[in-house]
Amino acid sequence: MFFRREKPVVLKFEDHLESLKLSGMAVGKTTNGKAPVMRKGCAAVLLDQGEKVGIERAGVVVGHEIGELTHGGYQMFFVTPTGVKEPALAEQLRELHDFQEDLRKGLGHDSLYNTSLGTTNPRHLYDRVKGRDSHAKHSH
């Protein structure tokens, strides 16, 4: 007996955007392979990368820009590309975390354990042990 394998469905960029619209996100006009997505004061810029959709920038709307989460050493801030810096409030962090989780789920991205615990950012230093995660073998 032969089994027919179904071909995996490859979604296009527009299909992902439509899926996000149906999940309650506002999707802006696509320009040069990029599209803005917003919900409850949070926003992201999505990139058309062929079979995959990338997230160029995600954060909280500050004026007409997206303020990315940055760790200031003593407090978290949202910093825009033009340099506007606003302190991050707990409610904004919760909203951003939910937005990013829903965005990853809607785009079919993996949800990693450390990001599911709370809001992280690309400029966050998890610990100060240098070389801790390198794959170099140490002799004892």
Higher pLDDT, 125 or 89: 89
Which residues have CB under 8 Å from 115's CB, separation 6+? 100, 101
pLDDT exceeds 80 at position 86: yes
- CA 63/CA 111 separation, integer angstroms: 29
Mean pLDDT of 97-119: 78
Supply the pTM of this predicted model. Answer: 0.74
Work out the mean pLDDT of the chain and round it to a whole number: 82
Confidence grade of residue 140 (pLDDT, cut at 50, 70, 90): very low
What is the gyration radius of the CA atoms in the chain, in angstroms?
A: 18
CB burial string 10-34: b at 16+ within 10 A, e below: ebebeebbebbeeeebebeeeeeeb
pLDDT exceeds 70 at position 113: no
Q: What is the pLDDT of residue 1?
A: 56
Strands 42-49 and 34-39: antiparallel
Q: Where are the domains of the chain?
A: 13-117
Please write the tens of the pLDDT for every residue from 5-51: 777 777 888 888 998 999 899 999 988 999 999 999 999 999 998 87
Q: What is the pLDDT of residue 110?
A: 76
Confidence grade of residue 124 (pLDDT, cut at 50, 70, 90): low
